[in-house]
Amino acid sequence: MGLYERYLAARIRRHGGEPPAHVALVITERDLLERGAYETLAAFFEWAVEYADRITVYVSVLDRAAVPTLKRELEELETPREVAVRGPDDSHPADAPIQIGIGLGGKDEFTRAVQTLATQVEAGELEPDAIDDEAVEAHLIFPDEPDLVIKTGAERLSDFMIWQSVYSELYFTDVNWRDFRKRDFLRAVREFCNRSRRFGT
């Protein structure tokens, strides 16, 4: 770790606030085509596990045909903890410390959850009045809510975890993924610790 990274880490420790327990990262398919992109992602996981118990990565995809290749590459990536990779055709929840979604839009994820609940109501297995936040979350692919969402390169989240990130702290950086370094991650964590979370109030 360089001198500046040590300085940022010390600032985070001295702040006294709780670091994010769940960190989410939004990148694009194009980001992963850059040289060294997978090595940066592997390093990101190492940085994040120093602070967070759970890490979610969302890869937005323009070309759905690229999903199988991306999924294979990401499943083979060396990670410090167990990883669960889900694509747009997967329906079972991701339950692992590191979760990766590829081209799995938040609107589609939410729609599938609602369709499942509607089917259960139609079958007489569920009363409409019993549908609450927890019932919806139980049918999401990524049910956990991130504390901090980091987006590189541009100030837009695409179709990312619409339900789960409603109270998340959003951190946008103009640093492109190919140039993202530990100092950029630590800046995001420091910013999170400096904010006063309001949870929609």
Tell me the whole-structure pTM to 2 decimals: 0.87
Task: For residue 13, tell me if it sits in a domain.
Answer: no
Q: List all residues 6 or more positions away from 162 whose beta carbon is below 8 Å from its beta carbon.
A: 106, 107, 109, 110
Task: Write the pLDDT tens digit of every residue in 66-82.
Answer: 999 999 999 999 999 99
Predicted local distance difference test score (pLDDT) of residue 78: 93
Task: For residue 201, tell me if it sits in a domain.
Answer: no
Task: Write the pLDDT tens digit of every residue in 154-190.
Answer: 766 667 777 888 889 999 999 999 999 999 999 999 9
Please count the other Cβ atoms lying within 10 Å of the Cβ belonging to residue 169.
18
Task: For residue 14, tell me if it sits in a domain.
Answer: no
Task: For residue 179, tell me if it sits in a domain.
Answer: yes
Domains held by the chain: number: 1
Domain containing 29 — which CATH number? Answer: 3.40.1180.10
DSSP-assigned letters across all residues of 43-68: HHHHHHTTT-SEEEEEEE-S-GGGHH
How many Cα neighbours within 13 Å face the side chain of 67?
19
Task: For residue 190, tell me if it sits in a domain.
Answer: yes
CA 192 to chain centre: 15
Predicted local distance difference test score (pLDDT) of residue 142: 85
Residue 158: phi and psi, rounded to 5, are 60, -145
- Expressed as residue numbers, the domain containing 52 is 20-104+146-194
Task: For residue 153, tell me if it sits in a domain.
Answer: yes
Task: For residue 37, tell me if it sits in a domain.
Answer: yes
Predicted local distance difference test score (pLDDT) of residue 183: 96
Report the pLDDT averaged over residues 135-155.
Answer: 87
Task: For residue 87, tell me if it sits in a domain.
Answer: yes
